[in-house]
Structure 1
């Protein structure tokens, strides 16, 4: 299957939104507890995506350096040794200028939750982005296997894998017009990791990873199966009271011109409605109504 090529250029002619394959995992645990698992997942990701490569390492001082063995070892040690009160964050990417096609963005925190009320919902996040061509070339089964391998390493409360449109916050409303009229299956994602998800669920997707507390509030795996017994829905138990819900055999853009109505997405949205994440204001600026409506499109 070929996916729509989605590009949005801002008024300056800069690319500020692009289609992608995105994997995100949210972990409400301090960095010192989960850093070894995150490092294993990142190393696994780098190995599995070859010949695609991450080429640059963000040194967190406004600079980047070529990602070689020595650079990775410094970052790996810094993440593992951050300790109590340290963030342990890392960022690896393929392009030193402009929108990255391949991006690993880990935002670590210690402690979790943070002591400031305005950041009480922040959790650790691992955000992994690949070009859509990766999905087209390798196929959905390969992507599903990779995602499960990564998820098995991570103590997530929620996570997802999907075909998305990644947009900068400044350009997200304008970029929405690339998908709003035609592709309801396309999630409008941020261009980097967002942290204020807490233990909620960031939307309805092709692959939906659920852990605690949401899975328990749904009655566990058995309760979920009773409420989601539909052809095309796969519910796979994972260790640690976690589950993967897969909607269909591949990500579906939901092309309205082809008559795709995405009934499985709508069914899961009704079940998860009380637990869905809602975008938060940034620096006092309210979230545009168009974005809030898009996030609830499967409930309308």
Structure 2
């Protein structure tokens, strides 16, 4: 991977009230179909690694008892105690104090049991959602981001996950989708906090795609992937615990149609993953179910 600095588009959307409700960002997201108690230590290691590696970016606030509290060393220790304590579940939110959707933000939801025994929540999983400003990707370069995401993933018993340049939208209404449709099909419209409803589905096709069981087994394991994904530019890296990382190209691509980008690697992986891809529910959406489906199938049709 060369060290050429790639500039990414600044995608910002203000709603009618003038609030910034969508922004570009770098997102690392891991879906873990295990209860909090089984994964607490792994997630805590990942959080500590993340905090250390993102310097000079700093997490400065966390959600204390219903309000934001400064995240100093004693607060960090308190979070640690809560994460590793006897609680069944855990809920941790940390950020950098800036007031916009593309800011540095950590959202961990550790469920007490999986699957949850409540109607409509059967698909919920534990999630670690880590967001960095786009500048981090531009300043560090894709190679460093790749190394960090892989290092975090190695700690986590994920079922699936991804790292990519995205457009984060608060409220997940689809209001900001025209910032990426049709010009930047490579840019996922992502929620601005953890989406729990993933079960063992795969959340779209991305630059870095983390796959675990059962999907990896259903695709014929690492050997099956290597046979079916033969395009140059696709890297398939075996990980411990029957997991794999599929990386498409050297860096996140926006798929800028005005620059003639066609994203052949994304299309190839989408065809392979099609039966396993997550379909978003559209109850909160400004878009019709047909419009969402057309967007979700943009690498397939």
- TM class by shorter chain equals over 0.9
Structure 2 residue corresponding to 1:62, chosen from 40, 59, 66: 66
Q: Please report how far the alpha carbon of residue 150 of structure 1 lies from its aligned counterpart in structure 2 after TM superposition.
A: 0.0
Alignment partner, residue 74 of structure 1: 78
Kindly indicate whether residue 57 of structure 2 is the aligned counterpart of residue 37 of structure 1: no
1:15 aligns with one of 14, 20, 29: 20
8 A Cα contact 2:53 2:148, kept in partner: yes
User: 1:147 aligns to what?
Assistant: 149
Query: How far apart in 1 are the matches of 2:7 and 2:102?
Result: 21
Question: Conserved in 1, the CA contact under 8 Å of 2:33 and 2:114?
Answer: yes
Alignment of 1:207-218 (within 5 A): 207-218=208-219
Normalised to the residue count of structure 2, the TM-score between the two structures is 0.95
Q: Does 1:127 align with 2:129?
A: yes
Aligned to 1:225, the other structure's residue is in SS state: helix
Cα gap change, 1:232/1:97 in structure 2, threshold over 3 Å: closer, same or farther? closer
**Number of paired residues?**
296
Moved more, 72-81 or 91-100: 91-100
In 2, the alpha carbon distance for the partners of 1:182 and 1:130 equals 23
Give the 5 Å matches for 1:85-104: 86-95=88-97, 97-99=99-101, 101-104=103-106
Matched, 1:245 2:246: yes
Residues 171-195 of structure 1: CA deviation (Å, up to 9, x unaligned):
x422101110210000000000000
- Across the aligned residues of Structure 1 and Structure 2, the Cα RMSD in angstroms comes to 1.6
Preserved CA contact (<8 Å) 2:282 2:289: no
Where do residues 184-263 of structure 1 align in structure 2 (5 Å cutoff)? 184-263=185-264
SS in 1 for 2:50: helix
Q: Distance in 2 between matches of 1:142 and 1:45?
A: 13
Instruction: Decide which of 53, 57, 61 is 1:48's aligned counterpart.
Output: 53
Shift of 1:81: 1.3
Whether the 8 Å CA contact 1:254–1:260 is kept in 2: the answer is yes
- Give the TM-score normalised by the residue count of structure 1: 0.95
- Contact 1:93–1:100 (8 Å) recurs in 2: no
Please give the secondary structure, in 2, of the residue aligned with 1:215: helix
Equivalent pair of 1:173/1:290 in contact (CA under 8 Å): no
Q: Residue deviations 1:123-154, cap 9 Å, x none? A: 00000000111001100110000011000000
* Equivalent residues of 2:101, 2:169 under 8 A apart: no
Unaligned runs of 5+ in 2: 1-5
Give 1:286 deviation, angstroms: 8.9
Work out whether residues 175 and 286 of structure 2, in 8 Å CA contact, stay in contact via their aligned partners in 1: no
Residue equivalent to 2:3: none
Q: Which runs of 5+ in 1 are unaligned?
A: none
